[in-house]
């Protein structure tokens, strides 16, 4: 999944694709470079970000979604608002990616039940403006799984089919760096939720996030700038895909596409050798 943030202030690419023309060009380029789906978002969710109006969000994403669909690009809409999701799906978006997992807008679960599109349920504890105050966990992996299971129950109670759902640990959303690393190291557990017969597919959004910059901080402890974190993002993509992630959401596509292919071959081989040794 390649990212196009049609925002002036997202932390990783803020402002670069704010005009519709630039965003459309970037979406087309991501698809050409191998993204299976292009995620279009109009509202920044960086820590401290303030909400924008629904009209403004629609003004930002509407023309971009329409043009990418028209060009044959598979599009997902990154929004917490049901009316924005509804218009994007009507325009041809194939997936709704909601960082609030359907919590921010009470209309979202019904819309997802009605449209039957795949829905990304990200772990979220509240709006970005003050989310880092909520980064308090005992065992972060168990708590994220339990809170995701609550969201999944609410969505299925609204008529959503569990087969539509993808879960996401929400790296950086009410998480400190240690929480993000714990979730990544135990990624295989994230989709295993109480009340479901089978694990749900997992999406990982680690690309260019601050915890990578902190890990790679220079000796003066200044975090590495986000744009210099792409190699480390590729490393995380390989590890996440080898651990069974269904999708990675990234800003720079080519290296990540290669990492996914390497991990797929790796998983194929290890599945084969497990079968051999079981014989």
Q: How far is the CB of 273 from ligand PMM (least distance, A)?
A: 33
The neighbour count for residue 272, using CB atoms within 10 Å, is 10
Q: Which is nearer to ligand PMM, 193 or 277 (CB)?
A: 193
Q: Which of 175, 209, 224, 267 is catalytic?
A: 209
Work out how close the CB of 198 gets to ligand PMM at its nearest, in angstroms, rounded to a whole number: 21
Residue 209 annotated in active site: yes
What residues contact residue 190 under an 8 Å CB cut-off, 6+ apart?
A: 141, 144, 145, 148, 167, 169, 183, 202
Distance in angstroms (rounded) separating the CA atoms of residues 5 and 26: 10
**List 81, 145, 151, 249, catalytic entry:** 249
Looking at the Cβ atoms of 67 and 120, the one nearer to ligand PMM is 120
Q: Which residues of 172-196 are buried (b: 16+ CB within 10 A; e: fewer)?
A: bbbbbbebbebbbebbebbbebeee
Tell me how far, at minimum, the Cβ of 167 lies from ligand PMM, in Å: 9
Contact assessment for residue 170 and residue 123, using Cβ atoms and an 8 Å cutoff = yes
Which run of H or E residues covers position 119? Answer: strand 119-122
Active site residue 153: no
Q: Which is nearer to ligand PMM, 73 or 97 (CB)?
A: 97
Structure token digits, residue 255: 């290296």
Residue closer to ligand PMM by CB (options 15, 272) is 15
For the chain, give the number of residues. 279
> Could you give phi then psi for residue 202, rounded to 5 degrees?
-120, 135
Query: Please, which residue, 86 or 233, has the CB nearer to ligand PMM?
Result: 233
How many Å apart are CA 257 and CA 146, to the nearest integer? 31
Nearest distance, CB of residue 122 and ligand PMM, angstroms:
5
Work out how close the CB of 271 gets to ligand PMM at its nearest, in angstroms, rounded to a whole number: 27
Chain positions contacting ligand PMM, by CB under 6 A: 3, 5, 10-12, 45-46, 78, 97, 99, 120, 122, 168, 170-171, 203, 205, 208, 249
Q: Which residues are designated catalytic?
A: 209, 249
């Amino acid at each position: 999944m390649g990212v196009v943030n049609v925002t002036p202030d997202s932390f990783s690419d803020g402002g670069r694709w704010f005009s519709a023309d630039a965003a459309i060009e970037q979406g087309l380029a991501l698809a050409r470079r191998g993204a299976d789906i292009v995620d279009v978002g109009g509202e920044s969710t960086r820590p401290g970000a303030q909400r924008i109006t629904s009209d403004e969000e629609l003004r930002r994403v509407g023309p971009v979604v329409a043009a990418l669909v028209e060009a044959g690009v598979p599009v997902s809409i990154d929004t917490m608002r049901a009316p924005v999701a509804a218009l994007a799906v009507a325009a041809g978006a194939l997936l709704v990616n909601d960082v609030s997992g359907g919590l921010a807008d009470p209309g979202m679960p019904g819309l997802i039940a009605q449209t039957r599109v795949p829905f990304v349920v990200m772990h979220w504890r509240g709006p970005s403006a003050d989310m880092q105050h909520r980064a308090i966990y005992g065992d972060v992996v168990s708590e994220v799984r339990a809170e995701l299971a609550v969201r999944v129950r609410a969505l299925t109670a609204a008529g959503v089919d569990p087969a539509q759902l993808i879960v996401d640990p929400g790296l950086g959303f009410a998480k400190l760096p240690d929480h993000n690393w714990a979730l990544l190291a135990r990624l295989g557990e994230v989709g295993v939720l109480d009340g479901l017969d089978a694990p749900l597919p997992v999406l990982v959004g680690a690309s260019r996030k601050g915890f990578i910059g902190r890990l790679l901080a220079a000796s003066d402890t200044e975090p590495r700038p986000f744009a210099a974190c792409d190699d480390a993002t590729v490393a995380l993509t390989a590890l996440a895909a080898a651990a069974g992630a269904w999708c990675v959401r990234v800003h720079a596509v080519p290296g990540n596409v290669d990492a996914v292919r390497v991990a797929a071959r790796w998983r194929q081989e290890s599945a084969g050798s497990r079968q051999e040794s079981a014989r």
